[in-house]
Amino acid sequence: MSILFTIAVIALIFIVIFQIAKASEYVTLLRGEQKGLRQSNKINAWLMIVFLVLGLLGVWYCNDVYFGQTLLAQESASVEGERVDSMMWLTIAVTGIVFIITQIILFYFAYKYQQNDNNKVFFFPHNTKLEVIWTVIPALVLMVLIGIGLRNWFLFTGEAPREAMVVEITGKQFGWIYRYPGKDASFGKKYYKNIDPASNSLGIIWEDQLSHDDVVTEQTMYLIKGKPVKLVIGSRDVIHDVGLTHFRMKMDAVPGIPTTLWFTPKYTTKEMKEMTGNPNFAYEISCDQMCGNGHYSMKGNIEVVEQEEYDLWMAKQKPQYLVNFPDKDPSVKPAADSVKSVISMVKTVNKDKAQM
């Protein structure tokens, strides 16, 4: 009922507007077309100035309200991200000045040069000097922006520092899987046909010795404050994207083609909670590439901690190899029935594979 009512009201508004518009046209015709057009010309010219003033006020107001909610109000959480921020500030300055000047000129000219008996049209078809000026100046300014941009770009996409830790991150519909290389600092090989969602979500090849100390986790990735980290990014199904907005970085996760990204976290999560005054602050990994109907919920977390805390956490993690094959675990004494259960588990896993 309320819907019908709303529709009726809207229709009524339309009819009223339409009738007014029609009537105003008749009035214009009655009073003489010239006079009517002159009047509406004046009104529109005034509206140009009104729009300009209200528009600029609106820009200021919008900034006033929302600037604090953007990341520009916060410091970058990565060392490299500071460069992104400084580039954005420079670009804001350049484009902001051009924006304000050209918009003012546009609407002011529109107002100033409205049709008027005193205005004589100036026949001005071209002027080479002017045109050269406004070709060369933008080109020069752009060269500066390009120069700074490319220097940073090569830093971001270049080799990670040698001391960087390496973490592998793999996207799947709809979540992230992390892998740490363990003590040997190398990942074991993997092959996607080995993937078993229950026991081997990455398809690691267990015959590869290097895989035996690889730690596989989900939900939260642990990183160390002040230590560069290189992410090796992959995907299990469709294209995803590792969006690290607080670190000012992102990179696609493409099935079959590994990509990399490196940065240096500057603050622990705890520090960020204090700095932002938000006790729930989290470094969230957002999927930034459309990946299916659950795209919006594909969330990961990064916990940046101090080295000691990281070491403690890492010590508690059990390599995936040992999770799958507890009998190989030197720290666990094989009890008779646990061996049995493992054997039966391996069997079912094999059966599953055969079915696939």
Give, as ranges, the residues between 47 and 76 that touch another protein (CB under 8 A). 47-48, 51, 55, 58-59, 62-63, 66-67, 69-72
Residue whose CB is less far from another protein, 171 or 182:
171
Separation of alpha carbons 202 and 196, rounded Å: 8
3-state secondary structure of 237: coil
Kindly state the smallest distance separating residue 162's Cβ from another protein, in Å.
19
CB-CB neighbours of 56 under 10 Å: 15
Residues of span 302-331 touching another protein by CB under 8 A: none
Kindly state the smallest distance separating residue 123's Cβ from another protein, in Å.
5
3-state secondary structure of 196: strand
Separation of alpha carbons 21 and 8, rounded Å: 20
Residues of span 237-296 touching another protein by CB under 8 A: 237-239, 241, 243, 245-246, 248-252, 254-260, 278, 280-282, 284, 286-296
Give Rg (Cα) of the chain: 31
Separation of alpha carbons 107 and 52, rounded Å: 6
3-state secondary structure of 208: coil
Stretch that binds another protein, among 191-199, 211-219, 308-316, 318-326 (CB under 8 A): 191-199
Kindly state the smallest distance separating residue 110's Cβ from another protein, in Å.
6
Element (H, E) at 110: helix 81-112
Position 347 contacts another protein (CB under 8 A): no
Kindly state the smallest distance separating residue 227's Cβ from another protein, in Å.
21
**Site of tokens 């590994």:** 258
Residues of span 92-151 touching another protein by CB under 8 A: 94-95, 98-99, 102-103, 105-107, 109-110, 113-116, 119-127, 130-131, 134-135, 138-139, 142, 145-146, 148-150
Kindly state the smallest distance separating residue 184's Cβ from another protein, in Å.
24
3-state secondary structure of 149: helix
Residues of span 160-189 touching another protein by CB under 8 A: 172-173
3-state secondary structure of 251: strand
3-state secondary structure of 111: helix
Q: What is the length of the chain?
A: 356
Kindly state the smallest distance separating residue 131's Cβ from another protein, in Å.
5
Kindly state the smallest distance separating residue 300's Cβ from another protein, in Å.
12
Residues of span 28-47 touching another protein by CB under 8 A: 28-29, 34, 37-38, 40-41, 43-45, 47
Query: 229-235 and 165-172 as β-strands: parallel, antiparallel, unpaired?
Result: parallel
Kindly state the smallest distance separating residue 93's Cβ from another protein, in Å.
12
Stretch that binds another protein, among 82-90, 179-187, 216-224, 322-330 (CB under 8 A): 82-90
Separation of alpha carbons 356 and 338, rounded Å: 27
Among 9, 12, 14, 334, binds another protein (CB under 8 A): 14
Separation of alpha carbons 306 and 3, rounded Å: 57
Residue whose CB is less far from another protein, 8 or 339:
8
Backbone angles phi, psi at 130, to 5 degrees: -55, -45
